[in-house]
Amino acid sequence: MNYFAGIDVGSTAIKVAVVNEAGDIAGVHVTASGSLFHKNSLEALNTLLDKLGLKREDVRYLIATGYGRKLFKEADDSISEITANAIGAFEAGKAFGGVRTIINIGGQDSKAIQIDDTGNVVNFAMNDKCAAGTGRFLDVAARNLDLDLEELGEYHFKSEVAPLNINSTCTVFAESEIIGLLANGHGKAEIIAGIHYSIASRTVRLAKRVGIEDRVYFDGGPALNKGLVAALQDELGRELVIPEHPQTTTAFGAAVLARNEFVAEQSSEKV
Amino acid sequence: MTNETSKVIPIQSIPYSRSRQAGESQDVLDHIIDDFHDNPESMQYFYDLFRSVYCHGEEVKHEGMLVGTTCIQAPEELIYAFGATPMRLCNGSYHYDQKGAEFMPSKSCSLVKATLGMLNSDNVIPKIGKPDMIVNPTTCDQKKKSSSMMGDMGYKVYDLEFPNVKESEASRQYWQRSVRQFATELRQLTGRKLTKKGLQAAFNKTGRAQAAFRKLHSYRLLSPSIILGKDIFLVTNAYFFDDITRWTEKVEALNVELEARKQAGFKAVQSKAPRVLFTGSPPIFPNLKLPLLIEEAGGVVVADESCSANRMLYDMTAVDEWMVNDMVDSLADKYLKPCTCPIFTKNEDRKRRLLDLVKSFNADGVVYQAFSGCQVYEMEYRSVAEAFNQAGIPMLYVETDYSPDDKGQLSTRIEAFLESMKNRKKQKQRAAG
Amino acid sequence: MTNLEDIRTAVNNVQFNRFRFWLQIFFFALLVYGGYLGIELGKHLPTFACGYNKELRGGMCFLMPLQHWMEWPWEKLFSAAALTILYGFTIFFLWFIALNRGWCGFACPVGTIQDWITSLRRWTGIRYSRYSEGQYKGLGIIKWVLLALMFLIPLGIGGGWFTHDLKSPFCMICPGRTVVPLFGLDVSQWSIDFSSRTNMIMTSLGLLVTGLFFIGAFVKKRFFCFYCPMGALHYLFSKAALLRLNKEGAKCTRCGDCYRVCDLQIKEIADDIQNKNIMTDDCIMCLKCVAACPEPGALKATFAGIPIFEATEAGFITRMNKGRTDDK
Amino acid sequence: MSSKILNTVMGMSLLALASTNAAYAELLWLTETAPPKSSATQVADHAAHHHAMHTPTAAVSSTVVTDSGKHDHTGMIVLDETPGKDHRPSKQVWLRRGDDIKKSPFAALDGGVAYLTLIDQAGKKSVVEAGQENGLFTLKAEMPEVGFYETYLEQRSVKEGRLLVELPKIELLWASCQPKEIDEEAVAKPIINDALALELVRIHKEDEGCMNRLVSGDVVNFQVLSYGKPIAGFPVSMVTQEGWRNTQPSDASGTVAFTMIREYFPNWLEFKKYHTDVFLVSAVMDKQEAGALNGQPYISVRYEATLPGKYRPSPHDYRSYAWGLGISFFVIVFGGLAVYLYRRRRLKPYKEERVDDKS
């Protein structure tokens, strides 16, 4: 039995996905990247293989993606996370009747990708250099409100009043703004809602640059955050599709590509 | 009773070759030379030229008076005709960009910042010496406003009045007139006469150079490419300051080598490598960031529409009557009518030119660089994008500057762009075969 | 096939101005002195082979018989006799479609004389004049007015409104009448006819125009062609002609080189990127624009659809190189 | 012997001279000029002393060939030709009697049919029957080729024992304005009818035709021939439109030269350069010959040869080269100056920048 793996060496987390010959997902694994990209990536891969009871050799083709892709020399090939993300979303999206627009909010960047009906990237946009409106923004917020990331979701819905306006787009200024709001006696809930909305609106602006078509596929770590999803939904005014493992779509895409490449090579060898 | 550890550290001047500025150029040049395989031998001249000028800060020689130009709109034939030497001052180094930022709005375009930063610094690299005059065509706002700044720096600046509308006959006449005024200005500066002989000689110099460039240009039509874009940009950048005759000879030599490569069926890139048309703000050494990123990622820049290469050398002058007055007017026309600079009110010519380039060089996609702060390019982006959209040509719009810190993100975007182009190609082939 | 290609390139790299100069000489000899060699191309030529140059001419300008016909009394004009006119017109048309306005650019003796005057001016180093945009628009109408009068006045004579002294009104003011016979050493046209007021006015006008012609042609390239009713007449049929001036809009960079060298300062040649058939009513088809176009295939002269002279980079470079290097 | 002949010739000529006035009054000649439209009265008052002629009806005007120029309101016969009359492949001629070109009436065809002889350039003879038009003698001559055609009429009658042989002749020209269509040497060569006892032949100017015709001031040459042979010292008379008469003897080659005098002096607004005057040349020869013409005996013979011609005002009367050259020269100089000043002036207001070799 042949397996294929994709590893997404991201800024905050390392995601690994393994698929079988059919291209169905066999397993996924996520760990924090920490400082030692390379070591952690290897560990992540191995832990997943162990979990699935596979050996390194069973993985016939491995494609790396994400910021660290160049560093991960074990990979057979590397690919930009945008393409990987597109493929992953396209494959995963089939279950939901296909998607054309993808919004990905990552650790320190956010992307909007538009794909055609064959899964090719038509157009895409990324946020500017700074981390505004990215996962990192949520981290910071959570830290200031001394909550952990998972709690943000519930809090979003606890607010009775309209979400507050978080004007600062820059993470650093937003931090101080939040503190200010707390000092003014505002409740955590509306602050959090405000944060979600500010991220959502930013992201939607990004998405509009590439053009939005029917369903929107939303992935990346922050997609686990119900509150943010709600805010984004509200801002978009469209159906959102959230995959089972939002974080690993990109890795999954890489794995699928790995499989395809392998098949292609096989066939080309046959010929 | 003083403490030994406390002492005044005297100012110590380190040689330029060991300065951070030199380092910047050093890195780029090494990257250009070492990280790519089988560069043409004839490129060695240009590598050495840039190394000596940018890395070792060696002096750049010139004949007669030195006339700096801040834009390709300044008719260099006239300058040559008066026995002076034109030198293009547009600069591409991040170091000078930062120097410029010290006294210019941070939002202004890197190119202008760098140029003024260079002029303002005490050691000007390339080491051309103080220009006897700087010709400043009144093209984009930032260059217009640089005029007085350069004046304050103690340079003799001549504002070459340039119209904003290209189509109208009135502006054509206006421009012809200001070119004639420029000629008289040069006459006063050099104390020379503008003779038919001199002008013909000047036309010869540039004409030969342009012919050489056009030949070079024609080799880029070949697919798979036999020469990489980064080398072309290096060659055209050299035209800024190199002695024109020598430059021409070297380019002709390069052409000979390319002809040989062509015969040998040589490939500079994989045959599947996406062919990219580069347009927008000009890549100027050492800021070849974008072209280099494209070609690292396995693409190849097959053509460009930028004032540091194609736009500068492509268009040739036609003269009906080889008399001084008609030659000068022809020059004026040549420097106005074919120009596709976005400073003009209309975008049509540039769009048409781009589409034509994509077609004739069968490029798979377009990379549009706009220096943040260059409103004209930023504004024109939309309509250009629209045009490409209708033509079904993918385009990547990159807003950037001289700073290297967005390299990581850019590489991702460019790779993704190239990957998508590859997929398109595959599909096309599948559809075809 | 290759040698055909070679011929093509050879043609496209030709030193166009010199080629044209000799071709013009040839046509001049043919039309002005052809009579010596017993050449007679008939009286329906679509160019100023002036009939007043009696024995020597190798053919005759169509405008002369045309005006005579128009002077016929109406009952004759609108009778079977008009078949003569139809016939003559057909011949004219056949001649015309062969060369289109090329007749003006290459064959017309008056045009050639103007080019000679131009080179005289060039030799003296005096600059040429250009019309301002406004003047250009305004004066451009004149040729059409002349064309209209050229039909109306003779018709008026036939109808009995005007005296016969007004006959062939255009010939009377055409510089061809006075200038071309000079080459047959015939100065008889250089006189004022006082026999009647009309004659006096017409002949005086004629010599006035002649004077203007000389001075105009000296300071303005192809001065008279801009007003020539024959040109206007040509334009009416130019769509049917075999020789054509075509433009590939997509390949044009609008660099204006063609506009630069155009004797008739036709702006469209540079700016119009829509129309394939670029010829305007002023165009004399001298094809200088094609010779001065650096964009391969952007401008081309085609005969019956076959390109015969095409703009090429190499051609442009060789031609301009020639200009840059030759002294005189 | 030879002296005798000379003698007789002299005798005849003297006789001819003596009797000119009497003889000329009745000269018979052919003309291209159509009878006037309003000529009824005029013809009538001549009918008086021309019994032989039957009076034409007044309704002449109706069917006269159209190309007979403009009307004349004085009611006088209009002898003014219209331009372009010579570009016709067919012409009509009439017969007139009397030597006053203005007044002499149109003659009828008295006594049956008359035959005219046409000789074209090639020398081809053809005999045509003259017809009537409103009772007037007339003939429509077809001219297939461009060039000159000689038309002869021969009238014989016996009066008081003298045979009168009237030999009116007219020269018709179909001219073309395409000089190429004309066979010059054929035109140059005179057409001679050597069957005639007395003939007057005009020696053409070279390239005579549409563009080049007789004008006042020209010297026009005639040859007087008998049976094709020139007669020397023979008197030939000319009478012009205005009645100017001149008689001169022919020289050894039988040639007589007349200079066409200018008779046309309108003020220049009425001046018509196509105004055509008619002149008539005649020669009379008497011979002492006896014989009979259909029963009527005669003792002497008189031959009367006439040849009309047309001439126009000389270009020198209305053309001026001085003015022509003057005007064009003036325009050139003035225009040149204007252009020069214009260019100079353009330098002034907004200081046009100019660069050239002198700068």
Q: Residue A72: which domain range?
A: 1-78+247-271
Rounded to a whole number of angstroms, the distance from the CA of B428 to the nearest CA of chain A is 12
pLDDT tens digits, D244-294? 899 999 999 999 999 988 888 887 777 877 888 899 999 999 888 888 888
Q: Is A8 on the interface with B (CB under 8 A)?
A: no
Task: Check B316 against C317: CB less than 8 A apart.
Answer: yes
pLDDT tens digits, B398-415? 999 998 888 888 888 899
pLDDT tens digits, B234-268? 999 999 999 999 999 999 999 999 999 999 999 99
Q: Are residues D13 and D117 in the same domain?
A: yes
The whole-number pLDDT of residue D88 equals 67
If pLDDT is split at 50, 70 and 90, which confidence band does B95 have?
Answer: very high
Domain count, chain A: 2
- A and C interact (at least 3 Cβ pairs within 8 A): no
CA distance C139 to C225: 12
CA distance D232 to D252: 5
Residue B400's SS3 state is: strand
Residue B23's SS3 state is: helix
Angle in degrees, CA B350, B353, B357, rounded to 5:
140
The whole-number pLDDT of residue B186 equals 96
Interface of B with C in 354-373 (CB under 8 A): 355-356, 359
pLDDT tens digits, C63-120? 999 999 999 999 889 888 889 899 999 999 999 999 999 999 999 999 999 999 999 9
| Distance from the Cα of residue B222 to its chain's centroid | 23
Q: Are residues A30 and A114 in the same domain?
A: no
Residue D13 has pLDDT above 60, yes or no: no
pLDDT tens digits, C242-255? 999 999 998 999 99
Q: Are residues A153 and A56 in the same domain?
A: no
Report the CATH architecture of C235-325.
2-Layer Sandwich (3.30)
Residue A63 · residue A6 · CB < 8 Å = yes
Of B203, B323, B359, the CB nearest to C324: B203
Q: Are residues A267 and A190 in the same domain?
A: no
Of B412, B413, B420, the CB nearest to A120: B420
Q: Residues of B with CB below 8 A from D356's CB?
A: 323-325
Residue A89 lies in a domain: no
Q: Is C126 on the interface with D (CB under 8 A)?
A: no
Of the candidates B184, B165, B114, the residue with the CA atom closest to the CA atom of residue B143: B114
The whole-number pLDDT of residue D267 equals 78
Of the candidates C67, C49, C45, C66, the residue with the CA atom closest to the CA atom of residue C57: C49
Q: Are residues A135 and A194 in the same domain?
A: yes
Q: How many residues does chain C have?
A: 328
Write down the domain spans for chain C: 235-325
Most confident of B7-21, D23-37, D98-112: B7-21
The whole-number pLDDT of residue B88 equals 95
- Residues 6+ positions from B428 with CB-CB distance below 8 Å: none
Q: Are residues A231 and A211 in the same domain?
A: yes
If pLDDT is split at 50, 70 and 90, which confidence band does D68 have?
Answer: very low
If pLDDT is split at 50, 70 and 90, which confidence band does D122 have?
Answer: confident
If pLDDT is split at 50, 70 and 90, which confidence band does A67 have?
Answer: confident
| Burial (Cβ within 10 Å: 0-12, 13-18, ≥19) of residue D249 | middle
Q: Structure tokens of D12?
A: 């005849």
Lowest mean pLDDT among C238-247, C280-289, D19-28, D205-214: D19-28
The whole-number pLDDT of residue B2 equals 54
Q: In chain D, what is the straight-line distance between the N-terminal and C-terminal CA atoms, in Å?
A: 97
Of the candidates B180, B252, B184, the residue with the CA atom closest to the CA atom of residue B214: B252
pLDDT tens digits, D286-320? 888 888 888 888 999 999 999 998 888 888 888 88
Q: Is B423 on the interface with A (CB under 8 A)?
A: yes
Q: Residues of C with CB below 8 A from D268's CB?
A: 194-196
The whole-number pLDDT of residue B82 equals 96
Mean per-residue pLDDT, D72-97:
59
Rounded to a whole number of angstroms, the distance from the CA of C302 to the nearest CA of chain D is 36
**CATH code: domain of residue A158:** 3.30.420.40
| Distance from the Cα of residue C122 to its chain's centroid | 21
Residue D134 has pLDDT above 70, yes or no: yes
Residue A85 lies in a domain: no
Q: Which helix (H) or strand (E) holds A26?
A: strand A25-32
pLDDT tens digits, D175-209? 776 666 667 677 667 888 888 889 999 888 766 76
Residue A86 lies in a domain: no
Q: Are residues D204 and D334 in the same domain?
A: no
Tell me the residue ranges of DSSP E strands in A128-233. Answer: 216-219
Of A82, A122, A123, the CB nearest to B412: A82
The 3-state secondary structure of chain D reads CHHHHHHHHHHHHHHHHHCHHHHHCCCEEEECCCCCCCCHHHHHHHHCCCCCCCCCCCCCHHHCCCCCCCCCCCCCCCCCCCCCCCCCCEEEEEEEECCCCCCCCECECCCCCCEEEEECCCCCEEEEECEEECCEEEEEEECCCCEEEEEEECEEEEECCEEEEEEEEEEEEECCCCHHHCCHHHHHCCCCCCCCCCEEEEECCCCCCCCCCCECCCEEEEEEEECCEECCCCEEEEEECCCCEEEEECCCCCEEEEECCCCCCCCCCCCCCCCCEEEEEEEEEEECCCEEECCEEECEEEEEEEEEEEEECCHHHCEEHHHHHHHHHHHHHHHHHHHHHHHHHHHCCCCCCCCCCCC
pLDDT tens digits, B196-242? 999 999 999 999 999 999 999 999 999 889 999 999 999 999 999 99
Of C254, C270, C316, the CB nearest to B316: C316
The whole-number pLDDT of residue B135 equals 97
The whole-number pLDDT of residue A93 equals 86
State the amino acid at position B171 in one-letter form.
S
**What is the number of other CB atoms lying within 10 angstroms of the CB of residue A175?**
16
Residue A171 has pLDDT above 80, yes or no: no
If pLDDT is split at 50, 70 and 90, which confidence band does D60 have?
Answer: very low
Lowest mean pLDDT among A63-77, B163-177, B215-229, D206-220: D206-220
Mean per-residue pLDDT, C204-219:
95
Q: Residue B120: which domain range?
A: 31-432
Q: Are residues D199 and D289 in the same domain?
A: yes
Residues of B with a Cβ under 8 Å from any D Cβ are 177, 180-181, 183-184, 187, 193-196, 323-325, 328
Neighbours of chain D (3+ CB pairs under 8 A): B, C
Q: Is D351 on the interface with B (CB under 8 A)?
A: no
Q: Are residues D170 and D211 in the same domain?
A: yes
Q: Which residues pair with A28 in a beta bridge?
A: A17
Of B181, B196, B323, the CB nearest to D353: B181
Q: Is B412 on the interface with A (CB under 8 A)?
A: yes
Q: Are residues A151 and A178 in the same domain?
A: yes
Residue B425 has pLDDT above 90, yes or no: no
For C107, which DSSP code?
A: I
Domain count, chain B: 1
Q: Residue D347: which domain range?
A: 323-359
Residue B136 has pLDDT above 90, yes or no: yes
Q: Is B407 on the interface with A (CB under 8 A)?
A: no
ipTM of the assembly?
A: 0.75
Q: How many residues does chain B have?
A: 433
The overall average pLDDT reported for chain A is 86
Mean per-residue pLDDT, B133-154:
95
The whole-number pLDDT of residue C263 equals 95
Residue A110 has pLDDT above 70, yes or no: yes
Q: Residues of A with CB below 8 A from B413's CB?
A: 80, 82, 124, 126
Residue D348 has pLDDT above 80, yes or no: no
Please name the residue of chain D whose CA is at the shortest distance from the CA of residue C124: D357
Task: Check B420 against A67: CB less than 8 A apart.
Answer: no
Of C196, C211, C219, the CB nearest to D272: C196
The whole-number pLDDT of residue D86 equals 63
Q: Residues of B with CB below 8 A from C273's CB?
A: 352
If pLDDT is split at 50, 70 and 90, which confidence band does D140 have?
Answer: confident
Residue A179 has pLDDT above 50, yes or no: yes
- Predicted TM-score of the model (pTM): 0.80
* H-assigned helices in B240-309: 244-264, 289-296
How many Cβ contacts (< 8 angstroms) between chains B and D?
Answer: 29
Domain count, chain D: 2
Which among A71, A80, A115, A268 is the top mutation candidate for probing chain B, defined by the most B β-carbons within 10 Å of its own β-carbon?
A80
Task: Check D355 against B194: CB less than 8 A apart.
Answer: yes
Q: Are residues D170 and D266 in the same domain?
A: yes
Residue A259's SS3 state is: helix
Q: Structure tokens of B209?
A: 């150079």
Q: Which residues pair with B368 in a beta bridge?
A: B279, B397
Torsion of CA C3, C6, C11, C14, to 10 degrees: -140
Q: Are residues A226 and A257 in the same domain?
A: no
Mean per-residue pLDDT, C213-221:
95
Q: Are residues D297 and D332 in the same domain?
A: no
Q: Residues of B with CB below 8 A from C129's CB?
A: none
| pLDDT over 70, % of chain B | 99
Of the candidates D187, D179, D87, the residue with the CA atom closest to the CA atom of residue C57: D179
Q: Residues of A with CB below 8 A from B419's CB?
A: 79-80, 82-83, 121
Q: Are residues A164 and A52 in the same domain?
A: no
Please name the residue of chain C whose CA is at the shortest distance from the CA of residue D180: C55
